[in-house]
Amino acid sequence: MLILIASSAALHPRVAAWLSFAFEPPGLPTRGMTMLRMDAPSTVHGRDDGLAGYCDSLFASLPRLDQRRWAEVYVRGLASVPGRKSVRRMSEHVLGRRADQALQQFVNQSSWDWAPVRRQLADRVTAALGPQAWIVEEATVPKHGSNSVAVERQFSHSAGRVINCQLALVVMASGTEGCAPLNWRLLLPPSWDGDTKRRARVRLPEHEKHRSRSQYLLDALDEMMIDWKMRPMPVVMDARQHALVEPLIRGLEARGLRYALRADPRTPVAKSSSDLMLTAGECLVRSGASGGLTIPGQDGRVSRPRYVAALLPHSPASSGPSAVRRRTRKVVAEWTPDARGPESVWITNLETARPSALFDLIALRRKAGQALEQLSEDSGLRHFEGRSFQGWHHHATLVSAAHAYGLLQRMAG
């Protein structure tokens, strides 16, 4: 389908230039299809603001001018339309008229690569934010029906119940001034592996198969460190969502990464001298540190909560001459005043002289949770109307761009 923009004489010259393009979704035949003529809007709200230059830089990797301009329209809509961000509402708000078909085609069918855009965004956010950690969160996108990619009735840890939804992992850069998403992985349920009809409908690549959460996460981190050349950050996440924590820990340690993983006290973490597997809670008890560590506050008084730490022995899998040097693993628990048990239990290899420093880092995860809620509602993550695999990743990338722009604007004052 060919979409033309015309009647641009009354517009600002730069606006007229970028609106005067033809949009033809790649891979779709135009022969025998109806040509849809679209008059240029009387105004494009805010084209002369900082978002125009931001998008010009961010989407420079997109090969065609029309793709880059529709990307800006989409991001501008996500950043400015209140409430639900449907393509119809966004096009009407940004362009002054309906262009929802063209916008939908751009997100769902246009074959642009999202990885270079995410890399450019990651570089920009990291330089401005100076993050202290990579926070990993589960993103839940509720859905109706079963035709959207990766949809399943499944347990959402963030929602705390079984719902019909898509689940994803997002790696977020987190610092004292805010959080921004860097990379995404859509979690494919096992039922999708052999469902050829559904896979074809959503154009799911052959190599996309169900994997463990640990494998999805490690793949995303490898892309960031190897392909994007990013400097490694401590990884902070709630690992209670993982069926097995040990493969995740070994994967992080094999990459030389520091980490703080929240774990269930019943999580097996180490073997005793008698070769019995001990849980995180049992290690804390055996450490003899049940009285806890009290950390002086800045005013010299004893602060609460208390922190209890237990060192863990090296596992046989990480010993030997060929093993990557591994920092000492610890189990650290946080006790709030008058609590009968720990508020939270964390497995970490962070080396710090102050136990409270670990929880300063963990506190950044609360900010990431708030940022994820903003992504879901204010930036439109849950408002995607398409069904395809590449459409989902395009939408997540554009949502990330809109969220990061808002953060950068706030940081700039």
Report pLDDT digits (tens) over 303-340: 555 677 788 875 544 444 434 456 788 888 877 666 67
What distance in Å separates the CA atoms of residue 68 and residue 60, rounded to the nearest whole number? 7
CA distance 88 to 198: 26
Q: Which residues pair with 152 in a beta bridge?
A: 165
Residue type, 249: I
Cβ atoms 304, 343 nearer than 8 A: no
Answer for the pair 184, 413: CB distance below 8 angstroms, yes or no: no
Contacts of 157 (CB under 8 A, 6+ apart): 138, 238, 240, 241
Q: What whole-number distance in Å separates Cα of residue 18 and Cα of residue 21?
A: 7
Give the mean pLDDT of the chain: 82
Q: What is the structure's pLDDT at 337?
A: 65
Amino acid 55: pLDDT: 96
Alpha helices in 206-340 (DSSP H): 213-222, 246-254, 280-286
Using 50, 70 and 90 to split pLDDT, how confident is the model at 358?
Answer: confident
12 pLDDT band, cuts 50/70/90, is very low
Q: What is the pLDDT, as a whole number, of residue 169? A: 97
Q: What is d(CA 300, CA 296) in angstroms, rounded to the nearest whole number? A: 5
* Most confident stretch, 137-151, 307-321, 346-360: 137-151
Nearest-10 crossing angle of helices 114-129, 389-412: 20
Reported as a single tens digit per residue, the pLDDT across 16-43 is: 334 433 333 333 333 233 333 333 233 4
What is the amino acid identity at position 61?
S
The DSSP secondary structure of 114-179, one letter per residue, reads: HHHHHHHHHHHHHHHH--SEEEEEEEEEE-SSS-STT-EEEEETTTTEEEEEEEEEEEEEEETTEE
Nearest Cα neighbor of 372 from 187, 177, 179, 156 is 179
Provide the pLDDT for residue 39: 33
Instruction: Average the pLDDT over 111-140 and give the result.
Output: 96
The type of residue at 211 is R
Angle at the Cα of 368 (from 367 to 370), degrees rounded to 5? 65
pLDDT digit string (tens) for 165-193? 999 999 999 999 999 999 999 999 999 99
What pLDDT score was predicted for residue 353? Answer: 57
Q: Are 74 and 103 in contact (CB under 8 A)?
A: yes
**pLDDT of the residue at 316:** 44
Taking phi first (over 0 means left), then psi (-120 to 50 degrees means alpha), and beta for anything else, what does residue 306 get? beta
Q: Cβ(346)–Cβ(263) under 8 Å?
A: yes
Bridge pairing between strands 344-348 and 330-335: antiparallel
Identify the pLDDT of residue 46.
Answer: 55
Reported as a single tens digit per residue, the pLDDT across 364-397 is 888 888 889 988 988 999 999 899 999 999 999 9
Going by DSSP bridges, is the β-strand pair 152-156/161-175 parallel, antiparallel, or unpaired?
A: antiparallel
Percent of the chain at pLDDT exceeding 70: 78
DSSP 9: T
In the numeric block, the tokens 């049940």 are attached to 290
Closest CA to 297 of 306, 287, 286, 310: 306
Residue 297: is its pLDDT beyond 70?
Answer: no
pLDDT value at residue 45: 55
| 201/206 Cα distance (integer angstroms) | 13
Question: What are the tokens at 246?
Answer: 């040990």
Which pLDDT band holds residue 95 (cuts at 50, 70, 90)? very high
pLDDT at 239 over 70: yes
Give the DSSP H or E segment for 413.
none
- pLDDT at position 226 over 80: yes
Spell out a b/e string for 212-224, using b for 16 or more CB atoms within 10 Å of the CB, else e: ebbebbbebbebb
For the stretch 244-253, pLDDT in tens is 899 999 999 9
The structure tokens listed for 77 are 């809509």
CA neighbours within 13 Å on the CB side: how many for 334? 19
